[in-house]
Structure 1
Amino acid sequence: MEYNQEYIQGLFFEKIAGTISEQDNLVAEQAILNDAGLRKFWEELKTKMEKPQGRAFLSGLDADRAWAVTRQNLHRAPVSFFRRNKWILSAAAVLVIALPLAWYIGFSGRHPLAGQQQAFKEVYLKTQQGKAVDLSGNQQITLGETQIQTKQQELSYTSGAAQSKEWATLFVPATKDYKIKLSDGTTVWMNAASSLRFPFQFGKETRAVYLTGEAYFEVAKNSLQAFVVHTSTADIQVHGTSFNVNAYTTAHFTTALVEGAVSVKKKAQQIRLKPGEEVLMSSTGFEVRPFDAQEVLSWRNGTYSFHNQPLSQIAEVLKRWFDVQIVWQSSGVSQQTFTGEIDKHLPLEVVISNLKLSSGMQAELKNRVLTFK
């Protein structure tokens, strides 16, 4: 696997800053595992940024001011790429990390994802020690005292160490979905471009996991041990229930309760849900409302149902399910609303054709870039 070195190094800056998207983070993680040169670059960057001056830099960076200086030297760069990466370019303009700025401007018009489309095609597990395990196909895998079995897009495991403190992260790339059964019997269905960090054995006090992206949980009942799902937006606490969590972004964070009871907590605010209710983020905090199970849970069957949703949100699903980049020629079209359904199992060309026929909007797919006009 050959990586676009300059693009991956750019992703590392976003990763350090905590602004990287989940899909880009998957690409960066794969590059770290597979490319010795990029792995060395990442370790050196982390070391520098963990020093006091590095942390102070990140907390006090005036990105707009640095960008104003940087853009004067970017005559050869593709405009769309640098607008998207203003923060990392600003950081590069100020940081001295033995890295010439020239690597940022070597694309000569290439799309920044050129050469990366094949980087993430299969589900994999990353151990606490950094080992990556390909989970494609049906197989049995031994990791220390843990026995892992994969079968029909599902992972289950048993650990011989009753008090094991080992953690692992399950990565599900774009276009894929996957199911995992945790040590307590909890089952988790994961949507595309998602990850779940979990322990091989839960501790005595709580059962905690960390989610990015979207997943549906059927939590094994245990009145003595709460189950907690941590996300970057809020935490969900349960004792035994079925619910869906969409945590791709803070702006569209939702938790929908199918049965049982959950509490969603963010700082001092806490909301308790009843079955049939969902909580989402609003400008003032949490908002509770009824939800349509067909719309919220249809992704588990490979379909995405939507009602009066802006095209910008629908496009994010296309991006995750079909591994494409989205380009808008007009910002107005992204706010147009649509009602319908997308079938993940159909070719993307057919999905686009159906959208065009039903809505009258214009779109073009070329080299894995979907442009809405």
Structure 2
Amino acid sequence: MDLLERRMRIARLIAKELAGTIGEGEREELSRWLAEDGLHQEEYGRLKMSLEANDRVWEEQAAGRRMTDAYWERAKRRIRKQRRVAWSKYAAAIVLPLAITAFWLMNRETPRVQVPVRTAAITHGVVKAQLQLADGRKVELNDTTRLCIKETGGAEIQTSDKMVKYTGRDTVEMPLTGEDRYNTLIVPRGGEFALELADGTRVWLNSESTLKYPVHFAGNRREVVMTGEGYFEVEKDAGRPFIVAVNGVNVRVLGTSFNISAYNEKVVTTLVEGKVQLQKGIDSVTLTPDQQGIWQAGKSGFEVKRVEARNYSLWREGIFCFEDTDLETILDAMARWYNVNIFYMNPSLKSMKFSVEVKRYENIEQILRKIEQTKRVEFDIKDRSVIVRE
């Protein structure tokens, strides 16, 4: 599909979304286009607000046609001034708003039975996850799942009380199979779950996170691999350090409580109690309670700063807590928990700082209105999208 064809296709999808006739597959296609480039999100936001703000114009079809015709005539005059080789690029730039106008008019003119349009309900996340076993089996979990699964080597997996729990004595011997057997807990967008590992260590996983871990911790090591965000309460074992591998950073502990957030190219480790050592290549740093270690791609070494550590783990107690945090980080957390898309009318809004403490199970609209009370930013909610504007 060439550039012009794709722009026409996207224009049709935006118009269908505004008219409330877009299908699920089409909505996913539009979401992929929006995710490709921040400029797409800005263009989408401007067009959407312009059309919705001037909805009264479309009630008069003749006026709407005149607007479309005038737009096209102006465009053609400008195009004639461009060199032929620039046609495709220039036409692609103008076709989106023009085509949306045309598709919108056609949609409004088509006679059909009026059916009330349902706006997708935005609800908070729930307790849910998928457990992938070493033998390939997959088990869907929620807050009512009650299962007992036998594992090779004598371990049992029990799922109850919103937690996956491994029972049976952990071992320092190698498994009979001669190799470690790994399970993976996957928490999707809009979910959360917890588990207790074979050594007694407890882990709470936030939305859009995974944890890969052995059924038994064999030998003198305890190592897991994580993506996303997790809170760890590590069982003490002086002879076997516990290691969390995340985005190339190793977090090494003996017995402690800490939070790790690594949704992008930044790994943020916040120590609640005990002591942890962070290592990335030849760089390493040791944290003490209420310290935070940050490793970011493209920067050398670890940044260490003092924080109120408890604030970074309140999410597992049902509270969003952000202290002097940029709006992008805050809304990214909301997007994962409420499973929504965020669009910024102006990219500079992402860096604005806010301090927010709200209940994690509140309606998202109530949370956004609290941020709006600062008079620095406003939000519009459309279906499963949140548009951010000044």
**Structure 2 SS opposite 1:184:** coil
TM-score of the pair, normalised by structure 1: 0.67
Report matched runs for 1:57-72 at 5 Å: 71=3
Q: Structure 1 81/154 Cα, relative in aligned 2: closer, same or farther at 3 Å?
A: closer
Aligned to 1:250: 265
Higher radius of gyration, 1 or 2:
2
Report matched runs for 1:107-186 at 5 Å: 122-136=128-142, 137-145=144-152, 146-158=155-167, 163=175, 165-186=180-201
Distance in 2 separating the partners of 1:350 and 1:259: 33
Which residue among 74, 78, 97 is the counterpart of 2:6? 74
Aligned AA for 1:329? M
Cα-to-partner distance string for 1:336-359 (whole Å, 9 max, x where unaligned): 211121321111121122222234
Q: Structure 1 75/358 Cα, relative in aligned 2: closer, same or farther at 3 Å?
A: closer
Cα-to-partner distance string for 1:108-144 (whole Å, 9 max, x where unaligned): 99xxxxx9x99x9731101233321012214123244
Aligned to 1:303: 319
State the 1:360 CA deviation.
4.1
Which residue among 198, 217, 228 is the counterpart of 2:243? 228
State the 1:281 CA deviation.
2.4
Cα-to-partner distance string for 1:176-215 (whole Å, 9 max, x where unaligned): 2221100001111111211111111011021010111111
**Structure 2 SS opposite 1:315:** helix
**Structure 1 SS opposite 2:198:** coil
Distance in 1 separating the partners of 2:381 and 2:150: 42
Q: 2:287 aligned with 1:273, yes or no?
A: yes
Aligned AA for 2:146? Q
**Structure 2 SS opposite 1:75:** helix
Aligned to 2:373: 357
Distance in 1 separating the partners of 2:372 and 2:170: 55
**Structure 2 SS opposite 1:270:** strand
Aligned AA for 1:128? A
Aligned to 2:332: 316
Aligned to 2:48: none
Distance in 1 separating the partners of 2:233 and 2:256: 6
Which residue among 183, 194, 204 is the counterpart of 2:209? 194
Aligned to 1:372: 388
Aligned AA for 2:322? F
**Structure 2 SS opposite 1:76:** helix
**Structure 2 SS opposite 1:123:** strand
**Structure 1 SS opposite 2:373:** helix
Q: Structure 1 328/183 Cα, relative in aligned 2: closer, same or farther at 3 Å?
A: same
Aligned AA for 1:75? R
State the 1:219 CA deviation.
0.9
Task: Work out whether residues 170 and 199 of structure 2, in 8 Å CA contact, stay in contact via their aligned partners in 1.
Answer: no
Task: Work out whether residues 140 and 147 of structure 1, in 8 Å CA contact, stay in contact via their aligned partners in 2.
Answer: no
Q: Among the aligned pairs, what percent are the same residue?
A: 27
**Structure 1 SS opposite 2:191:** coil
Distance in 2 separating the partners of 1:126 and 1:350: 36
Task: Work out whether residues 270 and 292 of structure 2, in 8 Å CA contact, stay in contact via their aligned partners in 1.
Answer: yes
For structure 1, the 5+ residue unaligned runs are 1-68, 87-107, 110-114
Aligned AA for 1:205? N
Task: Work out whether residues 159 and 200 of structure 1, in 8 Å CA contact, stay in contact via their aligned partners in 2.
Answer: no
Aligned to 1:105: none
Cα-to-partner distance string for 1:301-354 (whole Å, 9 max, x where unaligned): 111211221111111111111111111111122222111213211111211222
TM-score of the pair, normalised by structure 2: 0.65
Aligned to 2:363: 347
**Structure 2 SS opposite 1:285:** coil
